[in-house]
Amino acid sequence: MTLYLGVALVAAAVVLFILQPVVKGIHASLEREDDELTETEARKRVALLALRDVEYDFLAGKLDEHDYRSLKADLTAEALAALEADEESKKGAGGGRVGDDLEAEIARMRTELRAGGACPSCAFVNEDGSRFCSACGHTLAEAVTP
């Protein structure tokens, strides 16, 4: 008797638990969350990470000057394209969802990627995204990302 009571209780609890959302109309969110990267954002991130890797390989002495420059030129062009595509898609979606600050930030970064940033120590012009100066190895974090 106790056994069947136990079984009935378990079954009833399970049924209540899984039917409640449907009966009472409790909805799980199906919305995209704010911190979820969009497709273009993801691509932008990959492009920038690839730039970082090239920097690393060069600094660690795995790439020589010539290979480094040619790879970096390619990757910079790609990063630029990814940034622009991302900006484009945000415009299409009706304005930046993270706010105008980021819009401005990206626009600024784009110009800097084109123009390059000068190293405070030796004045060598580096593309933005460089963590370190390609000529003297000085840290660029503050110099190009104010």
Partner 1 sequence: MTILGEFALWISLPVAAWGMALGYAGGRTQRGDLVLSAERSIYAVFGLLILASAGVSAAFLGDKFEYWYVASYSNRDLELFYKVTGLWAGQRGSLLFWALLLGLFSSICVFTNRNKNRSFMPYVAGVLQTILLFFIVVLLFADVNPFERLDFVPADGQGLNPQLQNYWMTIHPPTLYLGFTAFTIPFAFAVAALLNGRLDARWIQLTRRWILTSWLFLSVGIVFGMRWAYEELGWGGYWFWDPVENASLLPWLTATAFLHSIQIQENRGMLKVWNMSLVLMTFLLTIFATFLTRSGLIESVHSFAQELKIAYIFLSFMGSVLAACVVLILYRLPQLRSENQIESFFSRESAFLFNNLLLLGAAFSVMWGTMFPLISEGFTGQQISVGPPFFEKVNFPIGLFLLTLVGVGPVIAWRRATKRNLQKNFSVPVIVGAVTAVSLWMLGARHELALVTWSISAFVLTVIVTEFWKGTKARARIEGEGYVLAFFHLITRNRRRWGGYMVHVGFVMMCIAFAGAAYNTDNRFNVQPGDVVEVASPFGHTYSLTYEGLSMSIGRGQRNLLWQAIATVSVSQDGGPAQILTTEKRQYTNRDTQPMTEVGIRSIVREDLYLILSALNDTNGALRADPGAQGIDLQVLIKPLVGWIWFGCLMLAIGTIVALWPSVDRTRAATRVATAGEPALAGAD
If binding is defined by CB under 8 A, does position 50 make contact with partner 1? Answer: yes
Residues 111-140 that bind partner 1 (CB under 8 A): 128-129, 131-132, 137, 139
- 105 by Cβ neighbours in 10 Å (0-12 / 13-18 / 19+) ranks as middle
Closest separation between CB of residue 104 and partner 1, Å? 10
> Around 138, how many Cα atoms within 13 Å sit in the side-chain half-sphere?
16
Q: Which one among 1, 60, 115, 121 touches partner 1, defined by CB under 8 A?
A: 60
Q: Return the closest-CA partner of residue 55 out of 142, 135, 134.
A: 134
If binding is defined by CB under 8 A, does position 7 make contact with partner 1? Answer: yes
Q: Are 75 and 54 in contact (CB under 8 A)?
A: yes
Nearer to partner 1 by Cβ, of 118 and 131: the residue is 131
Q: Binding-site residue total for partner 1 (CB under 8 A)?
A: 66
Q: Are 117 and 138 in contact (CB under 8 A)?
A: no
Q: Which residues contact 55 (CB under 8 A, 6 or more apart)?
A: 129, 130, 131, 132, 134
If binding is defined by CB under 8 A, does position 73 make contact with partner 1? Answer: no
| Interface residues toward partner 1, by CB under 8 A | 3, 6-7, 10-11, 14, 17-22, 25-37, 39, 41-46, 48-53, 56-57, 59-64, 66-67, 71, 74, 86, 98-99, 101-102, 105-106, 109, 128-129, 131-132, 137, 139, 141, 145
